Structures are given as C-alpha cells and as structure tokens.
Amino acid sequence: MSELTLHGLAASAGVAVGDARQLEASQPDDLPHRGHTLEAEAALEALDREAADLQARAGRLRADGFALESEILGAGRLMALDPLLRAEVERLTAELTAAAALRAATDRHAALLAALPDPLLASRATDVRELGRRAARKLAPESLDEASDRAAVLVAFDLGPADVAEVRESEQPVIAIALAAGAATSHAAIMARSLGLPMVVGVGEAILEATGRIAVDGDAGVAFVDPTPAREAWAEGEMERLRRERRAYARARALPPVTLDGRWVTLLGNAATAVEIRAVADAEVDGVGLLRTELAFLDAPAWPGEEEHVRVLAPLLGLLQGMVATIRVLDFGSDKTPPFLAGTDQRGLELLLEQPEQLAAQLRAILRTAKGTELRILLPLVESPEQVRTVRTLLGTAAAAAGWDAPLPQLGAMIETPAAARRAHDIALETDFLSIGTNDLVQYTLGLDRTQPVATAHSAADPRVLGLVAATVRAATAAGVTVEVCGESASVPELAALYVGLGVAELSVAPARLDELRATVRALSAEQASATAEQALLAPSQDAALTLARELLSDELGDQHGEMLGGRDGVLA
C-alpha cells in the first residue's frame, strides 16, 4: 500500500513507529433484553467495577509519583459513582440492554459537556464517553493486553485518561498514540505527556482503517499510515537520535549554565506533577521556576479548600527540599476554567482577589507544605502594584495562621500583558522578582486566540514582543529585582539566546528542554548575544529577528552543535 499522510494536532512530543493497534470497543449490542431488573443490576455492577478499577489504577499511579494523573483517574471514579448518572442508567435499562444504557447515558452527559462554549470543559466530554465504553466493556471483557510483544501505536477514535493509564500496564509495549478525534488539552494528552508517549490527535477517521505500520510525529502533529521504507527509516533514526541526544546532554549536567564570557544564567523547570519535578531534579538545575497549581482542580465542583491544597502540594514539595520552589497560585479562567466558574470573564489574580478567603486558604496550604524549600510565590496576570500589595497583606496573615517562623517568602508577579509590561517598574517596586509568561504575552500583544492551536513559541520573536521583554528587564533592573522567563518560548534555542542578550537572569522551561537549554547557554557569549538582541529589537519582522538569532547560534555553536540544538528542521518549538 502507498503511504497515507494524516495531518492533525500535536498533543505530546516525540517520534515513534510501530504496529497499528486498534482500541476495540466491542460491546454486546445484539443481545436480547433480559428484563429491567437484570439489565439494571448488570449496568450498575459494571459501573461499580469500573470505579474500583479506576481507584486501584489511581493508587498505583500515585505510588509511582504521578499525582496529577492519579487525580484525573480519581475524577473518573467519582463520575462512575455519580447518583444522577446511575439513576439515568437504571431508568434506561427498562428498554435498553445494560451496555446500550451505559453508552446512551454517558453519551448524553458527554453531549451536554461538548456543547459548552469553554473548550477545556468541552474536551472533558471524552472522559465521560470513555467511562460508558469501559463500563460496557466490563459486560464482555476484552483485554487491552493482546498477543504481540512488538512495539505498537495505539489507535482510537478518541481516548480517555484511563485507557492511557492502562497502557502502562499492558504486556505489549505501546510507544505512541494516534487519535481520529481528541484534543491537545484533554486529560488523555496530559497523561500521554507525563508518560512520555508521542501523541497526535484530530487526524481523521482514516486512521481507524490502519492495520499495518504507523509512524507518529508528535512534534508536527502528523501520522503516516503504511509509511514508506524511507519514512520508517527516518522515524527509527529520529527515535535513535533522540536517545543519543538525551544521553549526550545528560553527560553535561554537572557543568554550570555559564556563558563563554562568564555570565551565570539560572535554569529552572516548569512542572505540575511529581514526574516533572523528578525530571527537574535529574537535570541538576536549581529547582522549579513555575509550579502550576490549578491543573489538579480543573474538574473541581467548588473552590478547593486548604486541606485539598495540602493534599496536592505536600508530595510535590517534598521532592523540592533544598531547591527553589516557585509556586504559582491558582490561575483559573479562560481555557483553565473549572465547572464551578463556568461563564466567568475574569482570570488570574483579578479572579482570585474577588475571592480573598480562597486565596488565603491556598497561601496557608503553601506555607504549611513548603518548609525546607527555597519558596517563592508567584502571582498570575498581575496588572497593578496595588494587587501585589493586597496579596502581601494576605500572605502576612496566612504566615501567622500557618505558624511560618521564617522571613516571608519572595513574592513575584507574572508580566503577561502589554499593560503590565508598561507598568513593570511600578509592579517591580512591590515585588521580589518578575516572571514573564511569554505564552500569554504573545497572544495579548499580537491579538491571537488563546483557545486556538497557534504556534506561540516562535511568535515571541516578534519585535513587538521582544520590545516588551526588554522594557520589563530594564524596569526590573532599575528596581533591583531579577527577571525570569517561564513561557515555552525559552525552550527555543534562538529565543533563549535573545533573552540572555536582553538581560534575563532566569529561564524556566519544560524539564525535557533543560539539558538542551544548558548547552545553548554554555555556548553563547553574553556580549555578542546582547548585540544581536539589540538588532532583533529593530528587525522588521519575527522571521528577521529569528534569522539574526540563528546566525548568532551558527557563529557561536558551530554547524554540528547547531544541528543538534536545532533538530531535524532547524528549530524545536
């Protein structure tokens, strides 16, 4: 057969090639109806079994350090035990078989979610449909662990987090995932990224006909069905190249992140899970520059209380003893809106300050669990110095209530809008450090839609964005505070070089990019990077600024090292 190229969205980075393995949803549709009582008992028992399985799998994930992933499966268990869903299933079994009633009830609940205007909540519809499919599968069990021991690419129309978690316990090695539908923000995608599985979503239903080999490019969001020998050789080569690259970078972890002319650049990692924090520690950097706290509560029915925050934070901060722990308070809103806040137009710190008692509860939990770390507290989407002063007062009260007997932790503000960048000096005077969130800064500056799959990392090279970064650094320097960049753009070698040139003191990126970032910093001259950054500020376009940075990297790193940093197509986003 000839190769079929299917374009979708990148959900989890990496390249892999393996045998297609369809996730069958075989369920007994043609069985006769056995009566309301028997069908209802069978359906409810299937939900009970699925709830028990989810609880057990969540426990194993938590024991292995996958705290957030465990919480995701815990939410699935609560869905299986939801009285409203169970009542609907029981009612439907008056006319439908147990399997049909399970699918019908969960499909209806999923349709209600999918109709919501919030894309993140709508993407949770997959989790509900998965619950119905998996519970129905209990009525005619088919193991996910089938015969072959050859590496496989798991293929499905859509997938929920429990199916991804089950992959960990499968006898057949699953090395990638390709979905006909799905969303890059789904729980399944979060799980795949945590487990290091390349994943593409939204490639279309043609993928469901695949029976042979599949190559998955999780960086570009493409699946190749029946790849040509050349394509398969390329994928195998990419897998091996990435393995070699990781080994080479790992050997340099003991070396300090210092430029050729002696400037130290602090490297930190972005994290939300224990797995990511362990990866940060393995990379031998100073700690975490952005610990996202809202991801554990995206399905919460109400504001999390102090004890809920403690339960989530304690295992994470226990891994950061003696290291920098920069904890961002809840950044709800926009595409991170839990059900109880549906319809709100507010986001970030503005939203939190409307609920000061909820912010105070999180601050107390942070202080109770962060002892032994180099704690820093980070405020999202700060717009004014008055907001920072309000939080500092709340922090002092929380410290007294939590028995915090050390100096108050450093308080930082995220600069994520043009308005905040223009007020950076006033904000810096009230803070201990500034953190530039380039993901949002790019979108607000260039008028991009946060909910769309736009490539924001390279867009940070737009001179308008670079100008705001430069203005923020100047303002912070005048106020005597440091600046970090914690957006994903810092993981792009060209942009990292420009940030160093603009005077950014700290770079915080995904753990998988830390080794590459160290290599970039160590091969740069800060003086030459500064000269290039000044040119980039005057460049006529994003592409022109990137070209200047690429020339700098080519001159500084040499062609061979530049190729390793740049990846197969020049730049890794």
Check which CATH number belongs to the domain holding 161 and give it. Answer: 3.50.30.10
Work out the angle at residue 332's Cα, subtended by the Cα atoms of residues 329 and 334, and round it to the nearest 5 degrees.
Answer: 145
Say yes or no: 353 and 462 in one domain. yes
Work out the angle at residue 302's Cα, subtended by the Cα atoms of residues 297 and 304, and round it to the nearest 5 degrees.
Answer: 55
- The CA distance from 169 to 145, in Å, is 8
Three-class SS state of 214:
strand
In a domain? residue 246:
no
Most confident by average pLDDT, 132-146, 271-285, 490-504: 490-504
Q: What does the pLDDT average to over 187-209?
A: 83
Which has the higher per-residue pLDDT, 190 or 533? 533
**pLDDT for the residue numbered 170:** 62
Type of residue numbered 197:
L
Q: Spot the catalytic one: 109, 187, 309, 458.
A: 187
**pLDDT for the residue numbered 569:** 33
Would the pLDDT of 143 be above 70? Answer: no
Q: Indicate if 109 belongs to the active site.
A: no
- Domain count across the chain: 3
**pLDDT for the residue numbered 149:** 65
Q: What is the pTM for the complete model shown? A: 0.70
- The CA distance from 34 to 97, in Å, is 8
**Cβ neighbours for 289, distance < 8 A, ≥ 6 positions apart:** 268, 269, 270, 324, 326, 435, 484, 486, 506, 507, 508
In a domain? residue 519:
yes
- The CA distance from 152 to 19, in Å, is 5
Say yes or no: 134 and 165 in one domain. no
Most confident by average pLDDT, 79-83, 277-281, 295-299, 403-407: 403-407
CATH number of residue 520's parent domain: 3.20.20.60
202-228 burial by CB neighbour count: b if 16+ within 10 A, else e? Answer: bbeeebbebeebbbbbbbbbbbbbbbe
Which has the higher per-residue pLDDT, 145 or 324? 324
Say yes or no: 120 and 148 in one domain. no
Would the pLDDT of 287 be above 80? Answer: yes
Say yes or no: 509 and 520 in one domain. yes
Contact 223, 216 (CB under 8 A): yes
In a domain? residue 305:
yes
**pLDDT for the residue numbered 329:** 98
Per residue in 464-486, pLDDT tens?
A: 999 999 999 999 999 999 999 99
Say yes or no: 387 and 329 in one domain. yes
In a domain? residue 363:
yes
Alpha carbon 313 to its chain's center? 17
Per residue in 497-530, pLDDT tens?
A: 999 999 999 999 988 789 989 999 999 999 999 9
Q: In Å, how far are 80, 99, 130, 208, 396 from 29, measured between CA atoms?
A: 21, 7, 17, 20, 61
Which residues span the domain enclosing 44? 25-141
Which has the higher per-residue pLDDT, 134 or 257? 257
Contact 14, 219 (CB under 8 A): yes
Say yes or no: 467 and 521 in one domain. yes
Say yes or no: 221 and 364 in one domain. no
Contact 436, 467 (CB under 8 A): no
Confidence of residue 31 (pLDDT cuts 50, 70, 90): low
Q: What does the pLDDT average to over 429-443?
A: 94
Say yes or no: 364 and 413 in one domain. yes
Closest to 308 measured CA to CA, from 362, 363, 378, 379: 362
- Report residue 501: phi and psi, to 5°: -65, -30
Tell me which of 373-382, 383-392, 437-446 is least confident: 437-446
Q: Of the candidates 82, 113, 141, which is a domain's last residue?
A: 141
Say yes or no: 151 and 62 in one domain. no
In a domain? residue 248:
no
Per residue in 65-114, pLDDT tens?
A: 666 667 777 778 888 888 888 999 999 999 899 988 998 999 888 888 77
Would the pLDDT of 453 be above 50? Answer: no
**pLDDT for the residue numbered 155:** 92
- The CA distance from 358 to 65, in Å, is 27
Q: Indicate if 486 belongs to the active site.
A: yes
Type of residue numbered 176:
A
- The CA distance from 380 to 362, in Å, is 14
Per residue in 176-191, pLDDT tens?
A: 999 998 877 566 776 7
- The CA distance from 505 to 190, in Å, is 30
Say yes or no: 76 and 95 in one domain. yes
Q: What does the pLDDT average to over 305-331?
A: 95
Per residue in 547-566, pLDDT tens?
A: 999 999 987 655 434 444 44
Q: Spot the catalytic one: 33, 36, 486, 561.
A: 486
In a domain? residue 573:
no
Say yes or no: 111 and 160 in one domain. no
In a domain? residue 245:
no
Structure tokens at 440: 């949002």
Which has the higher per-residue pLDDT, 436 or 33? 436
Say yes or no: 16 and 30 in one domain. no
In a domain? residue 189:
yes
Would the pLDDT of 462 be above 50? Answer: yes
